[in-house]
Structure 1
Amino acid sequence: MHETLGRGYARIDAIRAARGEPLATMPEPSGPPPDRYNSVYFTLFVAGTAFLLPFNSFIMAVDYFQHHYPNSTIMFDMSTVYIASACVAVVINNLLLDLFTYNTRITFGILLSLATMLFVAICNIGWDGFSTNVSYTINLVAIGVVAFGCTVQQASYYGFTGCLPPRYTQAVMAGESAAGFWVSLDRIVTKYGFRQPRRSTFMFFVFSILILLGHSMLHHVMMRHPLVQYYLRLTNESRHKRRIQLHLNPNEDTILMENEAGDAAFGVLKLQSPALSNTGTAEGENAFSFANPVYSPTATIPVTSAPLASPPPSVSEPSASPSAVLRTPRPSYKVEDVVFESPERPTSWRSFKRGVLARWAVARAIYPYMVSIGLVYFTTLSLYPGIASEVPSCRLGSWMPIILMSAFNFFDFIGKIAAAWPYEWSRSQLLMASGLRLLLVPLLLLCAAPRHSPHIVGDMYPIMFSVVLGFTNGLFGSVPMIMAPSRVGRDHREIAGNMMTLSYNGGLLSGSLVSYLLLSMLGPPAGAPCRIYPTPLLPTVPPVTTTAANVTYVLSALH
């Protein structure tokens, strides 16, 4: 028994009977409220779209940034700054997990992202009154701030959906892919509709800001939904109140006390029965044991011995007559026990240490899923958006990176939808699939290296590799995130979601750093005109020389 839990011992039934109170009964567990019209699912889908929309908006404006900052590594720099800031945000979010609620953290992220997007759209794109170097720096600082706000939202949402059924985690991940698909479609429409690059990019950012505003309103409505409140209440109860199972030895003289707080909850008392004893001694007759027929669940024997000092609470007291018969065909040993841990200040060292140990225990339980998702996003960020934006095309020109990114985003969306398929992926399958994706790195790299003459020529090959990269990213980037929270207890699911987000961002950061190494393998920018690959000549019929004699012969033959 843990003395630090502040438990005492007494007979609950006797105390409540003396007070004249009715005995408490176990409340029937009620199911969660229904998600009518799938409103919670839809809101979380929009949330997944919203917190990745700013990053995707910066990335899909690749044509504008490459035109505005020629001969620069703008796409690589934006990707690296975003991921570095995101990793810092994940660590801070994990440390401050217990200080702020879901709603506070998510609202902070929404306001930070929205304010930054408005500033970039109005001041840096619409007005465009800064010099090239200052504008370049503003974009990098802005994407760093956006990354912080979006990642706080992302980590909080994954911790939040870890407390809900798994389908809601899949909704967030499908929304992430929808963000890429939406901005790809939006960029194609605005680029085609507005010929001037600055105007088309400004309208592109305006549409993204409208989505963020809609998400902000939907989020605050969702947090008051009965389904959300139900699961949050369960999580808070399991986090602040611990119910344990009591394993009492049958010859233990132990009785339970009512908790001073008076809050009713039920523990479980397991009475372990040894083999029946044939000793027949007086000590054995009076011992607290199932060997004693008095306490046998199916016994019907006269009680002649003295009553025990501590009978089980639910067993009826024997009658005053010594020859009375105790009939207990199947007694119910129900023990009411409340276990409270004294609340501590969240900032205390003991609480911090316990939080670190809890995260370590969760990481040990879900480390295959953490490794799997880290490998998936390491491969993706090694190639996207950096190397994908460097693949040349003489036919498509500036449309080539947009088409490659759109193909990636569309099939990433399909892959995340496929993750909802009811198939139980094993840990070894996930790790193997994540490792095989590394083969895409040299394949797509050879489509862009060297710049003056890539080894893999043609437009279809890089598009096909982008399709495979996107679909596998959506599928194997979602399944570990969905499965990991179910491998731990309810009170640790938020921690599991945050640990998976930490591994996810670790893969993103390492992949973005490797992309610089791959960029150096492309060689210097090609100054020569785009290389034209000749089309093979088709077989042709040799020309026929016509003379007057041949014409006369042909005409006579026809007649």
Structure 2
Amino acid sequence: MNETLGRGYARIEAIRAARGEPLSSMPDPGAPPPDRYNSVYLTLFVAGAAFLLPFNSFIMAVDYFQMHYPNTTIMFDMSTVYIASACVAVCLNNLLLDLFTYNTRITFGILVSLATMLFVAVCNIGWDGFSTRVSYTINLVAIGVVAFGCTVQQASYYGFTGCLPPRYTQAVMAGESAAGFWVSLDRIVTKYGFRQPQRSTFMFFVFSILILLGHSMLHHVMMRHPLVQHYLRLTNESRHRRRIQLHLNPNEDATLMESEAGEASYGVLKLQSPVLSTTGQGEIETNAFSFANPVYSPTAVVPAPTESTVEPFPDSVTSEPSSALRTPRPSYKVEDVVFESPERPTSWRAFKRGVLARWAVARAIYPYMVSIGLVYFTTLSLYPGIASEVPSCRLGTWMPIILMSAFNLFDFIGKIAAAWPYEWSRSQLLMASGLRLLLVPLMLLCAAPRHSPHIVGDVYPILFSVVLGFTNGLFGSVPMILAPSRVGREHREIAGNMMTLSYNGGLLSGSLVSYLLLGMLGAPAAAPCRVYPTPPLPTLPPATPPNITYAVTVSH
């Protein structure tokens, strides 16, 4: 069918060229502009890193915050405040989806994140002129504001990439892991290069702020890229307009395209956009179809063309009388498509339609929503809270940094592995997400009880952190990539936002469960390291001095 349609297009172009008419320059709507140098992909990769960079910066400064606020649950509090604020932000983003454009929402999130990070770096870390209690409160408020701005960006980017091919969603998720990997390296370098904790943490935040500034510039360049404009235009047309479907002749649809060989006559079907018709009452907008040589109907008899009509193609001329022309089952080319704009609904009808659309999308992608919710529930139950409480007599304050760096590194590897062309089924994703729950008791036994953990050693918690990170990257990315492709183009942004809502639901529930796991660790121990008694070793009688002297004399 497509081959014969292509031949029909080629024949039309050949006739136009023979007649000296300009060839059609209309681009094929199925062929998007190329992403040269992968500029859109790389920008979305940086975007994924940028909107998680503030959260990772707060979390990776664990050694500074634990030293500055001793005997507190600072890591648990920051994680919970961040996730709670993120859930509010993603709900508001879903409600205000149709009021603001992608660019407006993302720019708002970038400005909020930048302003808050600058304030924390300069006033609360660099200057440090507040009391401990006020400083603690400022950190929690700051991370809540950062969470709101970053989550607005995150939900908007996932809705935005849902309109693009799936590889661009994978780029954003790989960038999220790159954020964790980058801040891990950044923290190790600044901690090693600046011995003073306050100075090293300040420089650590400065490097993160510089990346946010670079991301803001790249984003505005990307939004003007032809590839992005192409897919946004298709999405807007699918969402705001209704295509009129014409069934020319259902019984002979295949014959229309395949019967051109051997037939000298065929015509061009032109579907025009709404035009204005003049009547005695004035101009009235109507949806008019114009058919150029001849009107479609295998048995229709139409008047002969006059001077005011479109000139037929040379091979369309027949020897029939000038009073009538009989159509010999022609082939057609659609030059334009008619769109009918829907009526403007009331606010209540728009809200109801939005709720019904979200419910329909949720029913279509609920296995992916459950899967990603379980993945991040398991992750937030252990990271960063329990991971920061694992003791080590050998590594000391470096232990939480090493565990988080191992998690971030393999999370990055897992998100890259998500691009592997393997078709994951819904049952496989749900099973893998459920099996990850086994990591909760294993990691907990590495830290509980505080005075004497059941699993002793530095290798086991690092191994569990590696597995946690890799599975988080892999099974946290695949559902997000597959879900938008399970719905129509006009609902892909909603699918991306619904997946982000489930993602944040898993984060919030996991962060709340982490408080229960913290209570299972027991009270802080003064000496968390085990002291193993050394058994007395058998002693040998000392050698007599004369024998030693004699041996030396003989050797000389």
Give the TM-score range, shorter chain. 0.7 to 0.9
Could you say what secondary structure the match of 2:243 adopts? Answer: coil
Q: Distance in 2 between matches of 1:367 and 1:74?
A: 34
Q: Distance in 2 between matches of 1:32 and 1:542?
A: 84
Aligned partner of 1:401 in structure 2 is 400
More displaced, 107-116 or 29-38? Answer: 29-38
8 A contact 1:394–1:532 mirrored in 2: no
Aligned partner of 2:96 in structure 1 is 96
8 A contact 1:264–1:338 mirrored in 2: no
8 A contact 1:318–1:324 mirrored in 2: no
Residue type of the partner of 2:136?
Y
Q: Distance in 2 between matches of 1:188 and 1:120?
A: 20
Instruction: Assess, with a 3 A threshold, how the Cα gap between structure 1 residues 534 and 503 changes in structure 2: closer, same or farther.
Output: farther
Superposed CA deviations along residues 6-39 of structure 1, whole A, max 9, x for unmatched, are xxxxxxxxxxxxxxxx9x9995515222111111
Q: Distance in 1 between matches of 2:157 and 2:287?
A: 30
More displaced, 362-371 or 143-152? Answer: 362-371
Map of 1:252-331 to 2, 5 A cutoff?
260-261=274-275, 295=298, 326=326, 328=328
Once the two structures are TM-superposed, the CA of residue 338 in structure 1 deviates from its matched residue by 2.3
Could you say what secondary structure the match of 2:242 adopts? Answer: coil
Map of 1:490-501 to 2, 5 A cutoff?
490-501=489-500
Aligned partner of 1:428 in structure 2 is 427
Q: Distance in 2 between matches of 1:205 and 1:265?
A: 59
Aligned partner of 2:256 in structure 1 is none
Superposed CA deviations along residues 108-145 of structure 1, whole A, max 9, x for unmatched, are 00000000000011111111111111111100000000
Residue type of the partner of 1:432?
M
Q: Distance in 1 between matches of 2:513 and 2:352?
A: 34
Q: Distance in 2 between matches of 1:467 and 1:474?
A: 11
Aligned partner of 1:136 in structure 2 is 136
8 A contact 2:244–2:340 mirrored in 1: no
Say yes or no: does 1:357 pair with 2:362.
Answer: no
Q: Distance in 2 between matches of 1:536 and 1:329?
A: 102
Instruction: Assess, with a 3 A threshold, how the Cα gap between structure 1 residues 550 and 123 changes in structure 2: closer, same or farther.
Output: closer
CA RMSD of aligned residues (A): 3.8
8 A contact 1:48–1:173 mirrored in 2: yes
Aligned partner of 1:231 in structure 2 is 231
Map of 1:153-552 to 2, 5 A cutoff?
153-246=153-246, 260-261=274-275, 295=298, 326=326, 328=328, 332=332, 338-342=338-342, 344=344, 348-528=347-527, 530-533=529-532
Could you say what secondary structure the match of 1:245 adopts? Answer: coil
Residue type of the partner of 2:274?
E
Q: Distance in 1 between matches of 2:203 and 2:222?
A: 29
8 A contact 2:271–2:335 mirrored in 1: no
Could you say what secondary structure the match of 2:496 adopts? Answer: helix
Instruction: Assess, with a 3 A threshold, how the Cα gap between structure 1 residues 507 and 548 changes in structure 2: closer, same or farther.
Output: closer
8 A contact 1:318–1:326 mirrored in 2: no
Residue type of the partner of 1:136?
Y
Instruction: Assess, with a 3 A threshold, how the Cα gap between structure 1 residues 331 and 530 changes in structure 2: closer, same or farther.
Output: closer
Superposed CA deviations along residues 421-440 of structure 1, whole A, max 9, x for unmatched, are 11111111111100000000
Q: Distance in 2 between matches of 1:88 and 1:196?
A: 37
Unaligned runs of 5+ in 2: 1-20, 252-269, 277-284, 290-296, 304-311
Q: Distance in 1 between matches of 2:44 and 2:25?
A: 34
Aligned partner of 1:10 in structure 2 is none
Q: Distance in 2 between matches of 1:64 and 1:507?
A: 28
Superposed CA deviations along residues 317-376 of structure 1, whole A, max 9, x for unmatched, are 99987999957256559797624233537x811111111111111111111111110000
8 A contact 1:266–1:337 mirrored in 2: no
Aligned partner of 1:286 in structure 2 is none
Q: Distance in 1 between matches of 2:25 and 2:402?
A: 61
8 A contact 1:386–1:515 mirrored in 2: yes
Q: Distance in 2 between matches of 1:209 and 1:536?
A: 55
Say yes or no: does 1:63 pair with 2:43.
Answer: no
Instruction: Assess, with a 3 A threshold, how the Cα gap between structure 1 residues 45 and 257 changes in structure 2: closer, same or farther.
Output: closer
Q: Distance in 1 between matches of 2:532 and 2:343?
A: 72
More displaced, 170-179 or 225-234? Answer: 225-234
Q: Distance in 2 between matches of 1:102 and 1:329?
A: 47
8 A contact 1:158–1:494 mirrored in 2: yes
Superposed CA deviations along residues 352-406 of structure 1, whole A, max 9, x for unmatched, are 1111111111111111111110000000000000000000111111111111000
Once the two structures are TM-superposed, the CA of residue 551 in structure 1 deviates from its matched residue by 9.4
Could you say what secondary structure the match of 2:451 adopts? Answer: coil
Q: Distance in 1 between matches of 2:286 and 2:317?
A: 24
8 A contact 1:180–1:406 mirrored in 2: yes
**Residues matched between the structures, number:** 493
Aligned partner of 2:309 in structure 1 is none
Superposed CA deviations along residues 474-532 of structure 1, whole A, max 9, x for unmatched, are 00001111111111111111111111100000000000000011111111111235323
Residue type of the partner of 1:437?
R
Q: Distance in 1 between matches of 2:288 and 2:393?
A: 73
8 A contact 2:391–2:528 mirrored in 1: no
8 A contact 1:177–1:474 mirrored in 2: yes
Unaligned runs of 5+ in 1: 1-21, 268-293, 296-302
Instruction: Assess, with a 3 A threshold, how the Cα gap between structure 1 residues 212 and 536 changes in structure 2: closer, same or farther.
Output: farther
Superposed CA deviations along residues 248-303 of structure 1, whole A, max 9, x for unmatched, are 8979xxxx996634799999xxxxxxxxxxxxxxxxxxxxxxxxxx94xxxxxxx8
Once the two structures are TM-superposed, the CA of residue 83 in structure 1 deviates from its matched residue by 0.2
8 A contact 2:271–2:338 mirrored in 1: no
8 A contact 1:170–1:420 mirrored in 2: yes
Instruction: Assess, with a 3 A threshold, how the Cα gap between structure 1 residues 446 and 249 changes in structure 2: closer, same or farther.
Output: same
Q: Distance in 1 between matches of 2:534 and 2:53?
A: 41
Instruction: Assess, with a 3 A threshold, how the Cα gap between structure 1 residues 551 and 257 changes in structure 2: closer, same or farther.
Output: closer
Instruction: Assess, with a 3 A threshold, how the Cα gap between structure 1 residues 335 and 41 changes in structure 2: closer, same or farther.
Output: closer
Instruction: Assess, with a 3 A threshold, how the Cα gap between structure 1 residues 37 and 259 changes in structure 2: closer, same or farther.
Output: closer
Q: Distance in 2 between matches of 1:42 and 1:257?
A: 40
8 A contact 1:49–1:179 mirrored in 2: yes
8 A contact 1:264–1:337 mirrored in 2: no
Could you say what secondary structure the match of 1:528 adopts? Answer: coil
8 A contact 1:378–1:511 mirrored in 2: yes
8 A contact 2:273–2:288 mirrored in 1: no
Instruction: Assess, with a 3 A threshold, how the Cα gap between structure 1 residues 322 and 475 changes in structure 2: closer, same or farther.
Output: same
Q: Distance in 1 between matches of 2:147 and 2:238?
A: 32
Instruction: Assess, with a 3 A threshold, how the Cα gap between structure 1 residues 418 and 331 changes in structure 2: closer, same or farther.
Output: closer
8 A contact 1:362–1:495 mirrored in 2: yes
Instruction: Assess, with a 3 A threshold, how the Cα gap between structure 1 residues 509 and 266 changes in structure 2: closer, same or farther.
Output: farther
Residue type of the partner of 2:69?
Y
Instruction: Assess, with a 3 A threshold, how the Cα gap between structure 1 residues 464 and 230 changes in structure 2: closer, same or farther.
Output: same
Say yes or no: does 1:37 pair with 2:37.
Answer: yes
8 A contact 1:265–1:337 mirrored in 2: no
Q: Distance in 2 between matches of 1:243 and 1:26?
A: 23
